[in-house]
A and B are shown apart, each in its own frame.
Chain A
Amino acid sequence: MKSKSKINIQKYSLILILIAMMVVCSFLSSNFFTAKNLTNILKQVSIVTICAFAQGMIIICGEIDLSIGYLAGMAGSYACIVYVATENLVIAFLVGILLGALVGAINGLFVAYFKLPSFIVTLAMQTVCFGAICLYTGGQNIYKIGNFKIFGQGEVFGIIPVTVTFMLIMLVITHIILKYTKFGRYLYAIGGNSEAANAAGIQVCKIKWTAFIVSGIFAAIAGMVMMGRLNAGIPSEGTGYETDAITATVIGGTSFSGGAGTAFGTLLGSLIIGVLNNIMNLMGIDSYLQMIIKGAIIIFAVLIDVLSKTQKIKVKIMAPAEGGQK
């Protein structure tokens, strides 16, 4: 029973941290706990959260995807271009998704089949993505994207902002993938111990490849929502989302060494950062101080991650020892 209750505490600890933060914030600023402000926070975190869902799946299977931000900028901007040319939202959306899948497939090909380190491959893919969009736009942004903005502005049913709706849809999809599909199981297994996964008949290469494709599609969706929200196609705006996504997933309890993490955890991690950013702005805290506070929080989160893991390892070492020597 012991281990079970421990996991639950870990799971709830994030919610508790978030609630505690929100209570404190309510005291710090009377403008914090209002429907409008809370909606704003959701709106502000939604794009990076979609990226974080993608990043989370990749980290769970033991890799990393640094191309997410640039890919979002590239796929989102191309979708804008297609929309401007065709005036057809569906075609634009599909082109965006296709581009995401394509870049993901290339990442996955090199990582899974050629066994290159994902850090390097996806880092290189950053510049490829940026070049691929600038090649067409010549460094200019895409203005007057017309109705494309419905991907990121306005509300669904008059209350839920579109960006938040996208985030919720991606949350549900990620949750289902991770919890209810074989593919999700395999991601955990590969991240937990890829040799054992292989010896259990899991096609490690194929699953990793698929994971990168899924990540690419998620990034592309994030990119299109981003351009919709910005009401313009700005390739450079995706820059840095990959690292924000990593931060959110790690705070959300995704283990950097793979094999553990959930969609809800990622959402919570993202919300914690979002609330933090929001309250610092509401209070008018100095920009430079904000940077320090944010950095400190990230280190703190990783520290928790490492501490909880070393405790787990202790348990593991004890187990075989009781079986005697080899």
Chain B
Amino acid sequence: MSEIKLELKNISKSFPGVKALDGVNIALRKGTVHAVMGENGAGKSTLMKIINGLYQRDEGQVILDGKEVHFSGPMESQAAGIAMIYQELNFFPELSIAENIFMKRQPTKGGHVDWKKMMEMAKKILDENDLPYDPKTKIKELPIASIQMLEIVKAVAFKAQVIIMDEPTSSISNKEVDMLFEKIRKLREQGISFLYISHKMEEIFQIADDITIIRDGKSIISGPVKDFTEDSIITHMVGRSIDNIYPKEEVPIGDVVFEAKNLCSKDMFKNVCLNVRKGEIVGMAGLVGAGRSEVCRAIFGLDPLDSGEITLAGKPYKPKDVTHAIKNKILMITEDRKKEGIIGVRSCRENITLTSHHIEKGGFINLKKEVQDAQRMSEMLKVRFAGIETPIGSLSGGNQQKVLLCRWLMLESNLLILDEPTRGIDVGAKLEIYNIITDLAKKGYAILMISSEMPELLGMCDRIYVMSQGYVTGCLNRNEFEQERIMQLATGHVK
């Protein structure tokens, strides 16, 4: 066994209300690729941020080359030879390759940037790595894979000994993945160590030497990759019993109100078929980027839909825009509450009644009725605030979500889509949201719910569609629910 390059011992980190990491241990051997695996929200990203100094750990040790280190920020960790390559690459699209490589490290001459020298150095780095670009090329003109390669090259050029990669293959083609892996293997031979975060099972077996699995902020198991099988990895990733916090009730399920056939959108999803019945809560499971949100947004008219047929309450429906969707009683709570949900500076009252038409007549609002309705609705959903005139931006996430639910509950609904309805909401408020969802199902709402929290789907849904890489890879009824099975479908293993 080769020497340990970087060791994480018993790392813990809490955020207000949430324990993100709870005793994580990882030992990265020199010259190996170490895969870190876990579900969405298992704590992988937090862990990476602790290693490179963006977050400070509450407990535990980070040991580099046998010595404990404390980084106050990425600049320090970089100086110590740790490079981080983010999922969302950070570069300056309008600047040249050379400028991006030497950002903050420009060679200088008499106090100003030595452009000539910088270009020469950049050219040398590019040539050594077989990247056929002029260092003056603007970054935005390169394909994503080349930028990624550049990030790696840049890290190595500045003497990185440990490279952390967060989902590096999420946006590049298979051929480019092969190139990337080749590069990683080469660097591994030179003694560089990689921490490699990924969801994709097949990649792990191709490239990784060791695996650590993280679940709920804890490291569950570590070992050489040959000791694992896909099934055992999945079991470890999801292996827990479903907490019985879900107020699921059996509701009589009615006719199909919403049926979609062969929905397609270029690059996003293909041939998606799904249906939702009255009183039914239908879940959509899958990994980040599987295309679940895109399908729902297309149905709601927020994103483009290229082809496919939708039948809504027995009539054909063609998404046009959100106004049209609402008119057809399709409602959706979007994933990013702050960006596409709340009007932060306006009052809860206005946020609640934004789309309700029954309080107006000929364009004029009946203020008295508006206040009454907003009051009644927010009481019904138990929104906690100083009053309906409070700006919604000042409420907690859970209460914001409730206000947004109030908005849609003012309207009639054929289909209610909830995209990550409990994201960023603390446990108590989550439970309240689940209660509301259950109530709605009882009232006969047809609900389509996207969630990245598996237990939530298992606990709340009557049926779950699983998507992977833009395809629906399976549909499970409640009696078939099984985390391992869903995980297999979600990782695209079963076609």
Interface residues of A (CB under 8 A from B): 1-4, 7, 179-183, 185, 188-189, 192-193, 195-203, 255, 259-260, 312, 315-316, 319-326
Contacts and interface: CB of A to CB of B under 8 A. Distances in A.
Contacts of B433: none
Contacts of A193: 339, 342-344
Contact-size category for B:
35 or more
Contact of B398 (A198, A259, A323): A323
A184 B332 CA distance: 24
A296 B46 CA distance: 48
B329 to A, nearest CB: 11
A321 B340 contact: no
A196 B426 contact: no
Contacts of B350: 185, 188-189
B394 interface: yes
Contact of A324 (B321, B339, B394, B424): B424
B423 A192 contact: no
Contacts of A197: 343, 354
Contact of B396 (A192, A259, A260, A319): A319
A183 B365 CA distance: 10
B3 interface: no
A323 B345 contact: no
A180 B323 contact: no
B364 A199 contact: no
Given A193-B339, A193-B343, 14 more contacts: A182-B360, A199-B302, A201-B326, A202-B355, A203-B323, A260-B345, A319-B393, A319-B400, A320-B397, A322-B426, A323-B424, A324-B20, A324-B424, A325-B424
B346 A200 contact: no
17 contacts: A181-B364, A181-B365, A182-B363, A185-B353, A189-B346, A192-B345, A195-B340, A196-B342, A197-B343, A199-B322, A200-B322, A315-B393, A316-B344, A319-B393, A320-B338, A321-B16, A324-B20
A199 B394 CA distance: 21
B29 interface: no
Given A180-B364, A319-B393, A326-B423, A201 B16 contact: no
Nearest to B422: A323
B381 interface: no
Given A180-B367, A189-B343, A319 B397 contact: yes
Nearest to A190: B343
B17 interface: yes
Nearest to B411: A201
Contacts of A1: 386-387
A323 B427 CA distance: 9
B210 to A, nearest CB: 26
Interface in B355-382: 355, 360, 363-365, 367
Contact of A196 (B323, B340, B424): B340
Given A2-B386, A4-B386, A325-B18, A199 B341 contact: yes
B185 to A, nearest CB: 33
A176 to B, nearest CB: 8
A312 B345 CA distance: 9
B282 to A, nearest CB: 21
A87 to B, nearest CB: 36
Contacts of B353: 185
B311 interface: no
A19 B322 CA distance: 47
Interface of B: 15-18, 20, 41, 46, 300, 302, 321-323, 325-326, 332, 334, 338-346, 350, 353-355, 360, 363-365, 367, 386-387, 389-391, 393-398, 400, 407, 423-426, 429
Nearest to A184: B365
A255 B400 CA distance: 23
Contacts of A182: 360, 363-365
A182 B341 CA distance: 18
B345 A255 contact: yes
A177 to B, nearest CB: 10
Contacts of B322: 198-202
Nearest to B17: A324
Contacts of B387: 1, 4
The CB with the most chain B CB atoms within 10 A, among A183, A200, A322, A324, is that of: A200
B323 A202 contact: yes
Given A182-B363, A321-B16, A202 B386 contact: no
Tell me which of A182, A185, A321, A323 has the highest count of chain B C-beta atoms within 10 A of its own C-beta: A323
A305 to B, nearest CB: 13
Contacts of A188: 343, 346, 350
B17 A312 contact: no
B248 to A, nearest CB: 24
B433 to A, nearest CB: 12
A222 B243 CA distance: 66
Nearest to A194: B343
Contacts of A179: 367
B367 A201 contact: no
Contacts of A183: 363
A137 B390 CA distance: 54
Contacts of A324: 15-18, 20, 424, 426
B394 A323 contact: no
A192 B364 contact: no
The winner among A189, A198, A201, A202 for most chain B CB atoms within 10 A is A201
Contacts of A320: 338, 396-397, 424
B363 to A, nearest CB: 5
B344 A181 contact: no
A3 B391 contact: yes
B354 A185 contact: yes
Contacts of B396: 319-320, 322-323
A196 B343 contact: yes
B322 to A, nearest CB: 4
B325 A201 contact: yes
Given A180-B365, A181-B363, A315-B394, A200 B354 contact: yes
Nearest to B19: A324
3 shortest A-B CB distances, which residue pairs?
A: A324-B18, A192-B343, A323-B397
